[in-house]
């Protein structure tokens, strides 16, 4: 970053000096040679800060960046962002699929995680407020798109009570004390 600052400062300084020299120079055949000399001086002045650093423009190495601590927290934030986005997308898709299959009152809760190759996988699907006796049909609907996940189905009064408790707990977790 210091090298870039030096280049910009030197370019501005040489530009101002070269403009003053061009204004003071006599017109005629000498102006062509003067422009060539000014161009060479400008080129050398801009390149000189890089000569000090042996033409190296270095970025931090991955292991050095990891030692700083910032990338790991950013990685965790981005991981949570992508997992949350995946969960929301799958929930929306499943909700629409359930509604088109005639299960308007059922709602979903999706849990996603990363596997050993850092792929996002859906680990569990929980369906609330499902009609009694529809467990097999709902399981088949979910398995069509997400074959390898844990499916939990709550129906009737159980799902209403559990949904209320879940909403109540979420509200308490987000409340400021």
Q: Tens digit of pLDDT for each residue in 37-70? A: 888 888 877 777 666 555 554 545 555 445 555 4
* Pick from 175, 152, 154: nearest CA to 163: 154
pLDDT digits over 130-147, tens only? 888 888 888 898 999 888
109 neighbors 91 (Cβ within 8 angstroms): yes
Fold for 64-174, please state it: GMP Synthetase; Chain A, domain 3 (3.30.300)
pTM score, whole prediction? 0.48
Residue extents of the structural domains in the chain: 2-52, 64-174
Evaluate whether 111 touches 87 at the Cβ level (below 8 Å).
yes
């Amino acid at each position: 970053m210091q090298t870039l600052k030096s280049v910009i400062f030197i370019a501005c300084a040489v530009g101002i000096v070269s403009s003053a020299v061009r204004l003071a120079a006599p017109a005629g055949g000498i102006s062509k040679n003067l422009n060539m000399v000014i161009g060479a001086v400008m080129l050398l002045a801009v390149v000189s800060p890089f000569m000090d650093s042996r033409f190296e423009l270095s970025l931090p190495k991955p292991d050095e960046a990891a030692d700083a601590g910032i990338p790991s927290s950013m990685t965790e934030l981005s991981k949570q962002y992508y997992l949350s986005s995946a969960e929301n997308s799958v929930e929306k898709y499943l909700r629409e699929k359930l509604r088109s299959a005639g299960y308007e009152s059922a709602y979903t809760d999706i849990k996603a995680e990363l596997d050993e190759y850092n792929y996002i996988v859906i680990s569990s699907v929980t369906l609330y407020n499902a009609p009694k006796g529809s467990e097999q049909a709902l399981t088949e609907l979910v398995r069509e798109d997400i074959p390898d996940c844990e499916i939990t189905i709550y129906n009737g009064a159980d799902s209403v009570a559990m949904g209320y408790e879940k909403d109540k707990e979420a509200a308490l977790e987000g409340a400021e004390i």
